[in-house]
Structure 1
Amino acid sequence: MSNAKQNRINRMINVLENSSSWISSSMLASLLGASERSIRNYVAEVNEAGTRHIESSKEGYRLAATTSAAGNAPASLLGNADIVPAGSDSRRDFTISRLVNARDGLSVFDVSDELFISESTFQSSVMPQARALVRQFDLNIETHDYRMTLTGREADKRKLLGHIATHNSYGYFTSTKTLENMFPGFDVQGILSSLVEICQRSDLFINNYAFSNLLMHLLVIIIRLTSNNELSEVDGPIDGDGLVAQLGKREQIVRCAQCIAAYFEKEFGCAVPRADFQQILLLLALSVERCDFGDLNREKLASIIDRDFMDMVLGILDECGERYNLPRFIDEPMRLQLVLHMFNAYQRAVYHVSYPNPLAAQIKSEHAPVYDMAVYIAHRFSTAMNVEVGENEIAFIAFHIGAYFEKFSAPDGAITCTVIIEEYHDFARRLVDDLKSEFGDDISVVAVMSCDGYLADPPESDVVIATIDVPVCGGSTKILIGPILTKQNVRKIRDRLCAIQEQRRRLYAQGLLGRLLQPGLFMRNVDANDATSCIDRMGELLAAQGLATPEYIADVHLRESVSSTAFTDSLAMPHAISVYPERSFIAVAHNDASIPWGRHDVRFVLLIGIAQEDMGLFRDVLDLIIEVFSSVETTMRLMQTDTFEEFLAALTHDIG
């Protein structure tokens, strides 16, 4: 199966998973960029594989409920050695694992037989994908007389194995199963349990993500050493001792590394070579927390890292706050935590140690504004330090700033409320206390009045909560309840409050997007075959209308090069990373044919330009648009639009 075809099948399943209704074959074909006949074939293949079941009717297709969580995972990830790899990624990874373990190379015919496919299919579909993946790790698959050999440094082969183990669809959750499938002769679970016990006895604090990454690297080292594949001079010198010497926990790190080496020698009967021991030291040193975040202050931080480095990162954080118009951008404790995190990220970049983030894609799609700020910080940092900061590290930066950034997002605002209740002992006070306790910051009680008092001088408020049926004034919403706040009353009030918030949000979105979207910036079927050409075409239109300069479009390309702005399967939102346009706008390209955009194929491109004075709106723009495109039903409606007016109506229809 070709990689493109497998990607379309995966996207089809994702669309069906996120749809609450049947989806027609024609709409699926449009969403995936395939023919209706192909859709029928994809459905048949999924149902034949048996891991998921797609129901069909005259209304279209929908995904049947699965009976267990395991039913969602590909068979090749569930540790069943009797199941032959069927998907394109599974066949690719199976081939690579066999090549890594084969000292004398492999026969093309033997691997084809193991996969139950023809030699021609293997050569035309599996090998191109395998070669493309290994090239990312500076490795090569050489073929002579139908015999394949994986060539390159041992260090790069280990990185490749770690990547395959941790970059499947289920991340760390199935990485040990993946290693078991790749190395069926090893007791992976037994080795893992021993490593966990050694690390837990080491008196080292390692966070969960670093710990999972560390264990995967250690497992790969042990597996490779037992096959007599050790690091050599070709792999380059590794100075784990030098890094460990800088750390306060150096004695614990060395002791932990020695325990791992002793376990290896006792269990497998051979010593750990010096270069591999240095690698273990390095992995441990880059995994431990330098200090307790709760005790962190500027003096303590200056004792761990260079003060110039600290000032540089703090300066970047100040620039980020200015860029996004957030004068209160993160507090002092979080600023110091980020400085320490960026120092660790710098060390990982210098020593070329990977640190996969299994939630990177989720963070990017669900917290786009925060992720975008992390992109800005990563770009400025990588430029200043001349190191590469990838998407995994960007997602970790987003982790750090996310919770704090949410404090400064534009709030919906508390709903003002007037309470009408007749005085009877302390019933009025108790009702107001119960309302405040139940609804917290969602409401702001501006007045507590009797019926006569309200009719004589009604205050302005969004809501009137009354225990007496009284006519309300000024367009307020009336909610009639009993004098005792029952669960039924609470649900009634909450439903009305939600309706008000939804209406506010819809009006706000319609106003905001209506202001930024313009008929003259709506393009249908742009002549573009990739992200670069699409941005250029849209840039030409913007330049013709005096909205964008060549400098601005160049900055949009720069932002795209740091991290793809395709936040969903159907949508890309390119924008600048440093330069501001003269005034704010959103240019729209709606294509019937999909445009390859990073790992996605998009049909909609919204090129966003936010003037400096409007940067406070940036978070709202991204959030609102992504919210719309996260809905399968709304995306389908948007795809059926042809004019600007139809597009704007569909875009703002379901917000809130």
Structure 2
Amino acid sequence: MEGLLNDRCILIMKSLITKGVLTLKELKHICNVSERTISKDLDIIEGLVKEHKLLLYRKPKLGIWIEGSEKDKERLYVSISVNNPKIPNSPKERQEYILLKLIQALGYITMQELCDEIYISRGTLENDLNYVENIIVKNGLKLKRTTNRGIKIIGDEKKLRTLIAGLFSRLSYVMPVKELVTYIGSTRIDTGEYSFEKDLFNLFSDLNLGEIEKIICEAADKFQWNFTDNAFASLLIHIAVAIKRIKSNSQVNFTENILSSLEITREYKIAEFIAKNIEKAFLINVSKTECAYISIHILGSKVQFNIINDEGKVLNRADVSDSVEELCKEMVAKAAEALDMDLINDKILLKGLSMHIRAALNRLVHDMPVKNPLLDSIKNSYVASFEAAVSASTIIKERYKLAIDENEIAYIALHIEAAIERMKNNLVDKKRIIFVCSTGIGTSQLVSSKLRRVFNNIEIVDILSSMDLKNKKLDNIDFIITTIPLVIDSVPVIRVNPLLLQEDLDNIEKFMSRSTSPEIAKKNNLKNVLQLIDRDLLFINKNFSTREEAVYEISKLMYQKGYVAEDYYDSIISREKIASTASGRVALPHGDMNKVYKSVVSICALSNKLNWDENNKIDIIIMMSIRKKDLNKIQAIFECIYDIMSDNRLINKILNCKHKEEVLEFILE
């Protein structure tokens, strides 16, 4: 009985044992819940108290207390303190618990079963299920509810596997492959308290993940296929999910046309090798369709390449087709137009983007959504590059009729930002370093280009994954810069954020005892923005019911003042459908620059938070309408606006302004 108690029941019993008689009102304040909830908990406690030869008394005018010998009370206290594996209590914990329960279930689960397991009412469960169902539906699945049988997830097997594997995505990003395999593959993890990660890891506690890792490594060596750390971890998890599902007699299905098209690829040969070894290691039958499933994940994986030379000596890939390269040339041209920069002759950008887009197209065609762990940081830190990537991504939609989401767009933005960094680059004498990165070409090129620009004495000898580093000789290497935890005795190691933030640059500067190059003066950026703000388009304490209403009202005023075309509103809404412009507390809506006659910026401080999209409630709208002739200012404008977006104190000051002049004064400060 003790093992099923929630934290609140334990707190009530401990309070009654240590404090004696307490009223319902006092217990309500101790636990910070309603008296009704306390009464329900007391019903649960009463049975346990009896098991320990004690009695629970509840007298309306006297209070509540536990009656019995001090020795029995002491035994109860020790029992509830020691033997209490926690159950989920918060709404978030409960929702994660329910989702995992449904994923693991082979059939229906009754509502009463869930209520009994986590000690919640039917009403609370219904609320939690609404959240869980939203996640399930977003993944292309359904939650089936049957009156007499219960609930279960139904839908395409591939999408269910994607949902399961997706739960691990954030872990495979923050944790190196070796550590992930060791941690997940250890004997059942028990931290003594409820943890979503613990339950997630325990899904695979009966599988030898080290064996799967070994098989993938053998395949990579045999076929000379160098996965990034993240791609390696993702493939490992997808294969582990596949093994679990095969063991429960759940198989994926493909049409004959898809099977035929996959069987002729190099990736299918790699998948066949992996499948045969999995059959031997796990004593299961891996069908043709399951082999195809593995090949799709190899097709959609990122591959590690050492594109490091800024003089155009770029690694060529035979399996990047001419059609993909032509597509990427159009994308680069579109991005260059959006930024008003000469990116066309950047061979590194073209080759790096081509290799990325090849994998991305396979993910899109086979409906394999990818989670970009850097999405919010990219949207905030590299606003101009993200917008250029949005523009470039329309080429994919137009040519292939494929919807590309903001996670994929953010990866494209990294390649563009790396190209911008290369344009700013001015190399001099360099120290010899190795850069270790887990996320792929885009991130590695962005960081390496930024390092070369900021520091005047760095030579990046190689860009490696942690898997490849162990085979690399470190003679004549001055130090290693890494985005993941590393322990190297022979060479100094500096760990940085994958986006190379200012604090990382400061740490490298201290290590090298050299100065960083000066940044673009913020005051100049600020002047550019202030010159574009129209006082008639500066609002305080505005209230809107919907995003569409807000965009319509502001864009309508812009049209009436001659800044934009009448249909500018439509282009803003179309842009929002590709990827939300909201980040944190601020939204940056903008439309087609071809519909802008004169550049202008509008700032709107809201009286109440506005639901901009399903993930963001905002306080401020900054609508930027920039015409093509002013594209040379766009980078500076975005940098300045990012400073506003990331400054919570400034946002709060703007929201408290009573006059328009105050808003401008605070921005100037």
TM-score by length of 1: 0.67
After superposition, where does 1:82-97 map in structure 2 within 5 Å? 82-97=85-100
* Closer, same or farther: CA 399–94 of 1 in aligned 2, 3 Å: same
What's the counterpart of residue 418 of structure 2?
403
What's the counterpart of residue 554 of structure 2?
538
1:185-229 CA-to-partner distances (Å, cap 9, x unmatched) read 6426x5322221211122121112222221221121122222222
Please tell me whether the aligned partners of residues 378 and 410 of structure 2 are also in contact (alpha carbons under 8 angstroms): yes
Please tell me whether the aligned partners of residues 261 and 272 of structure 1 are also in contact (alpha carbons under 8 angstroms): yes
What's the counterpart of residue 280 of structure 2?
262
Partner SS, residue 168 of structure 2 = helix
**Aligned pair 1:195/2:212, yes or no?**
yes
1:120-165 CA-to-partner distances (Å, cap 9, x unmatched) read 2111x20111111111223222223362122222222212212333
What's the counterpart of residue 3 of structure 2?
none
Distance 2:307 2:414 in 1: 15
What's the counterpart of residue 537 of structure 2?
521
What's the counterpart of residue 60 of structure 2?
none
Distance 2:355 2:163 in 1: 28
Please tell me whether the aligned partners of residues 297 and 336 of structure 1 are also in contact (alpha carbons under 8 angstroms): no
What's the counterpart of residue 127 of structure 1?
129
**Aligned pair 1:143/2:145, yes or no?**
yes
Aligned CA RMSD, in angstroms, stands at 3.7
Runs of 5+ consecutive residues of structure 2 not aligned to the other structure? 1-31, 34-82, 190-195, 427-453, 458-508
1:376-414 CA-to-partner distances (Å, cap 9, x unmatched) read 212232222211211221121122222221344799xxx
The amino acid of 1:212's aligned partner reads A
Shift of 1:572: 0.5
What's the counterpart of residue 659 of structure 2?
643
Shift of 1:246: 3.3
What's the counterpart of residue 551 of structure 1?
567
1:154-179 CA-to-partner distances (Å, cap 9, x unmatched) read 22221221233325898668895857
Please tell me whether the aligned partners of residues 210 and 355 of structure 1 are also in contact (alpha carbons under 8 angstroms): no
Greater alpha carbon shift after TM alignment, 174-183 vs 506-515 = 174-183
Partner SS, residue 582 of structure 2 = coil
Shift of 1:573: 0.5
Please tell me whether the aligned partners of residues 605 and 621 of structure 2 are also in contact (alpha carbons under 8 angstroms): yes
* Closer, same or farther: CA 283–617 of 1 in aligned 2, 3 Å: same
After superposition, where does 1:228-243 map in structure 2 within 5 Å? 228-232=249-253, 239=258, 242-243=261-262
**Aligned pair 1:333/2:348, yes or no?**
yes
1:65-89 CA-to-partner distances (Å, cap 9, x unmatched) read xxxxxxxxxxxxxxx9933223333
Distance 2:400 2:258 in 1: 20
Please tell me whether the aligned partners of residues 638 and 650 of structure 1 are also in contact (alpha carbons under 8 angstroms): yes
Shift of 1:236: 5.1
What's the counterpart of residue 155 of structure 1?
158
Please tell me whether the aligned partners of residues 207 and 289 of structure 1 are also in contact (alpha carbons under 8 angstroms): yes
Shift of 1:521: 0.8
Please tell me whether the aligned partners of residues 526 and 534 of structure 1 are also in contact (alpha carbons under 8 angstroms): no
Distance 2:306 2:455 in 1: 33
What's the counterpart of residue 38 of structure 2?
none
Shift of 1:544: 1.2
The amino acid of 1:606's aligned partner reads I
Distance 1:410 1:600 in 2: 36
Shift of 1:603: 0.9
The amino acid of 2:264's aligned partner reads A
* Closer, same or farther: CA 371–440 of 1 in aligned 2, 3 Å: closer
* Closer, same or farther: CA 530–137 of 1 in aligned 2, 3 Å: same
Query: Which of 572, 577, 586 does residue 601 from structure 2 map onto?
Result: 586
Shift of 1:244: 5.3
Distance 1:371 1:97 in 2: 34
Distance 1:314 1:328 in 2: 10
Shift of 1:615: 0.7
Distance 1:328 1:317 in 2: 7
The amino acid of 2:145's aligned partner reads T
After superposition, where does 1:479-628 map in structure 2 within 5 Å? 505-567=521-583, 569-577=584-592, 579-598=594-613, 599-628=615-644
The amino acid of 1:565's aligned partner reads T
Please tell me whether the aligned partners of residues 525 and 640 of structure 2 are also in contact (alpha carbons under 8 angstroms): yes
Percent of counterpart pairs with the same letter? 18
The amino acid of 1:209's aligned partner reads N
Please tell me whether the aligned partners of residues 563 and 598 of structure 2 are also in contact (alpha carbons under 8 angstroms): yes
Please tell me whether the aligned partners of residues 376 and 577 of structure 1 are also in contact (alpha carbons under 8 angstroms): no
Partner SS, residue 550 of structure 1 = coil
Partner SS, residue 110 of structure 1 = helix
Please tell me whether the aligned partners of residues 555 and 579 of structure 1 are also in contact (alpha carbons under 8 angstroms): no
What's the counterpart of residue 238 of structure 2?
217
Please tell me whether the aligned partners of residues 527 and 537 of structure 1 are also in contact (alpha carbons under 8 angstroms): no
* Closer, same or farther: CA 528–340 of 1 in aligned 2, 3 Å: same
Please tell me whether the aligned partners of residues 262 and 292 of structure 2 are also in contact (alpha carbons under 8 angstroms): no
1:572-620 CA-to-partner distances (Å, cap 9, x unmatched) read 1111255351111101111020111121111110110111111111111
Partner SS, residue 623 of structure 1 = helix
TM-score by length of 2: 0.66
Partner SS, residue 603 of structure 1 = strand
Q: Tell me how many residue pairs correspond in the alignment.
A: 487
Query: Which of 283, 290, 295 does residue 276 from structure 1 map onto?
Result: 290
Greater alpha carbon shift after TM alignment, 95-104 vs 557-566 = 95-104
* Closer, same or farther: CA 285–81 of 1 in aligned 2, 3 Å: farther
Please tell me whether the aligned partners of residues 239 and 282 of structure 1 are also in contact (alpha carbons under 8 angstroms): no
Shift of 1:538: 0.7
Distance 1:390 1:255 in 2: 32
Distance 1:336 1:180 in 2: 41
* Closer, same or farther: CA 274–246 of 1 in aligned 2, 3 Å: closer
The amino acid of 2:371's aligned partner reads P
**Aligned pair 1:103/2:102, yes or no?**
no
Partner SS, residue 304 of structure 1 = coil
What's the counterpart of residue 287 of structure 1?
301
1:421-461 CA-to-partner distances (Å, cap 9, x unmatched) read xxxxxxxxxxxxxxxxxx9879xxxxxxxxxxxxxxxxxxx
The amino acid of 2:277's aligned partner reads C
Query: Which of 370, 386, 389 does residue 385 from structure 2 map onto?
Result: 370
* Closer, same or farther: CA 331–555 of 1 in aligned 2, 3 Å: same
What's the counterpart of residue 43 of structure 2?
none
Partner SS, residue 357 of structure 1 = coil
Distance 2:308 2:84 in 1: 47
1:473-508 CA-to-partner distances (Å, cap 9, x unmatched) read xxxxxxxxxxxxxxxxx99xx99x99x979x83431
The amino acid of 1:392's aligned partner reads N
Partner SS, residue 84 of structure 1 = coil
Please tell me whether the aligned partners of residues 142 and 155 of structure 2 are also in contact (alpha carbons under 8 angstroms): yes
